[in-house]
Amino acid sequence: MADSPTVYDIVVLGGGSGGYATALRATELGLTVALIEADKVGGTCLHYGCIPAKALLHAAEVADAARDSERFGVRASFDGIDMPALHTYKDGVVGRLYKGLQGLVKAHGITYVEGYGRLVSPDTVEVDGQRYTGRNVVLATGSYARTLPGLEITGRVITSDGALTLDHVPRSVVVLGGGVIGSEFASAWRSFGAEVTIIEALPHLLPNEDEALSKAFERAVHKRGIQFSTGVRFAGVTQDDDGVHVSLENGTTVDGEYLLVAVGRGPRTEGLGYEEQGVRMDRGFVLTDERLRTGVGNVYAVGDIVPGLQLAHRGFAQGIFVAEEIAGLSPAPIVESGIPRVTYSEPEVASVGLTEVAARAEYGDEGVQTLDYNLGGNGKSQILGTAGFVKLVRRKDGPVVGVHMIGARVGELIAEGQLVVNWEAHPEDVAALVHAHPTQNEALGEAFLALAGKPLHAHN
Ligand SMILES: Cc1cc2nc3c(=O)[nH]c(=O)nc-3n(C[C@H](O)[C@H](O)[C@H](O)COP(=O)(O)OP(=O)(O)OC[C@H]3O[C@@H](n4cnc5c(N)ncnc54)[C@H](O)[C@@H]3O)c2cc1C
């Protein structure tokens, strides 16, 4: 067995959002890095997640615009989806970003190792018989689409991986799981012309959002002709040449051409030697302290394998954090609730900070104030023809602790909410900052004005 003579400052196992961010930041700080990746640098987000899924959703927005064009006095018609062309567009976006990322990895002088790695000691990862040793090791092996016990992913029963590569628009789809991924695919397929039914076991779609957003989302989805059942569990599925027949525990059956299983993502940690090396695990997730240390040697973990929000930008932030920690910069720990969350459906849903329920649990009923600002009063939202609202949650006489929004394009507005929440700004401070007119951002500005006690275009 040939051993690599080099000892790297960091050996990173997994080249997705968390792993490659660690590698890029570490090399910027003068550290030497080996980045081990079994598939393609960029990981789930770039190749099978965020980017291709959002390309589909953008195509869906274009389809909706064509279908609704008359409303804006424009003559156009929606004649259907050209799937090969849609894939060319989507794959083109992914391909350009992939090329750019490969260039960055090269330019940073990162030792890129193609292959499947296993942790064989707290400072060593083995790939095809070759050992890579680091003064620090960062585990970043990401996640895979989970399924339910007994529910096999085969044929017409697919996960997001299959959904991104379908060669036609399905006639009808049953979506199991009304979380972010399920809701996004449901939204895109509906825009493309499919009949869609979502099945969600919890009481609401987008169950992790503030209930006001979940309920508004359900109303919007219903209006778009997407069927959904909440608080109901999946019982079983059969498939034949016609499609899938999904039975629910309440005795009803739903048919579709495909069943998309979108019940969450499991950590990709099995058989990688983590447990054998003493890394503490919980249901396959790697447990860390707030400095992302596993407690074994100098082994850290980042991204979807660490319990919490499974989001690419959390992976980026954790990767940067770990690189800076190893370089001795003592960065401030990442506050999980300060990470923005966006569902890129139509309408979009975006939030950061605490929900009203979480804020009340933390500060007591008397310690919390909320405000809803309806997008009906926002000029740009009227121009776009979108409905929705901004909901602010603040500590009484204190900072804004939660920003929640629903409506077209609100995902792009969350940046301001995120600054306000993470800088613990008071509405009175933010109200003095001028927002451009007419923008959707103004809706946030108006909400801050209203919460500061000086509403401008507010009816409530
Ligand atoms: C359909 C979909 C849409 C999504 N949309 C969004 C979105 O809009 N915004 C957002 O923030 N997040 C989104 N996500 C989530 C996002 O993709 C993940 O949070 C992110 O990719 C996690 O990064 P990671 O580095 O932890 O893991 P991953 O990106 O999964 O990367 C892990 C990498 O490790 C490699 N690997 C695993 N085991 C080994 C091994 N033994 N040896 C070598 N290499 C290995 C894998 O090949 C992979 O490339 C989406 C996910 C999906 C599925």
Could you give the 3-state DSSP secondary structure of residue 266?
strand
459 has a pLDDT exceeding 70: no
**Per-residue confidence (pLDDT) for residue 455, from 0 to 100:** 87
Instruction: Name the token pair of 86.
Output: 């849609």
- The answer to whether 190 touches 226, Cβ cutoff 8 Å, is yes
**Per-residue confidence (pLDDT) for residue 457, from 0 to 100:** 82
Mean pLDDT calculated for residue range 164-191? 98
The tens digit of pLDDT for each residue in 377-394 reads: 899 999 999 999 999 999
| R_g of the chain computed on alpha carbons | 23
DSSP letters spanning 124-178? EEEETTEEEEEEEEEE---EEE---TT----TTEE-HHHHTT-SS--SEEEEE--
Supply the residue whose CA is at minimum distance from atom 23 of ligand 1: 17
C-alpha count within 13 angstroms, C-beta hemisphere, residue 267: 23
Whether 19 lines ligand 1, by a CB cut-off of 6 Å, is yes
The tens digit of pLDDT for each residue in 88-100 reads: 999 999 999 999 9
Could you give the 3-state DSSP secondary structure of residue 341?
strand
Mean pLDDT calculated for residue range 126-135? 98
**Per-residue confidence (pLDDT) for residue 5, from 0 to 100:** 65
Instruction: Name the token pair of 210.
Output: 């503030």
Measured CA to CA, the distance from residue 101 to residue 94 in angstroms comes to 10
460 has a pLDDT exceeding 60: no
Measured CA to CA, the distance from residue 34 to residue 15 in angstroms comes to 10
- The whole-chain average pLDDT of the chain stands at 96
- Candidates 56, 103, 102, 48; CA nearest to 81 is 56
Between the two ends of the chain, the Cα-to-Cα distance in Å is: 73
- Candidates 39, 6, 12, 7; CA nearest to 24 is 12
CA–CA distance from 248 to each of 172, 198, 207, 261 (Å)? 17, 12, 19, 14
18 CA to centre of ligand 1 in angstroms: 8
Q: Which numbered atom of ligand 1 lies nearest the CA of 118? A: 41
Whether 287 lines ligand 1, by a CB cut-off of 6 Å, is no
Whether 346 lines ligand 1, by a CB cut-off of 6 Å, is no
**Per-residue confidence (pLDDT) for residue 458, from 0 to 100:** 75
| Confidence at 245, pLDDT banded by 50, 70, 90 | very high
Q: Give the DSSP letter of residue 293.
A: B
243 has a pLDDT exceeding 60: yes
369 has a pLDDT exceeding 50: yes
CA–CA distance from 383 to each of 62, 254, 299, 440 (Å)? 16, 38, 52, 10
**Per-residue confidence (pLDDT) for residue 1, from 0 to 100:** 46
Which of 22, 41, 47, 50 for mutating ligand 1's site (highest number of atoms within 8 Å of CB)?
Answer: 50
Q: Give the DSSP letter of residue 33.
A: E
Q: Which contiguous run of DSSP H or E holds residue 144?
A: strand 143-145
- The answer to whether 31 touches 23, Cβ cutoff 8 Å, is no
Q: Which residues partner with 238 through β-bridges?
A: 245
Mean pLDDT calculated for residue range 60-76? 97
Q: Which contiguous run of DSSP H or E holds residue 265?
A: strand 265-267
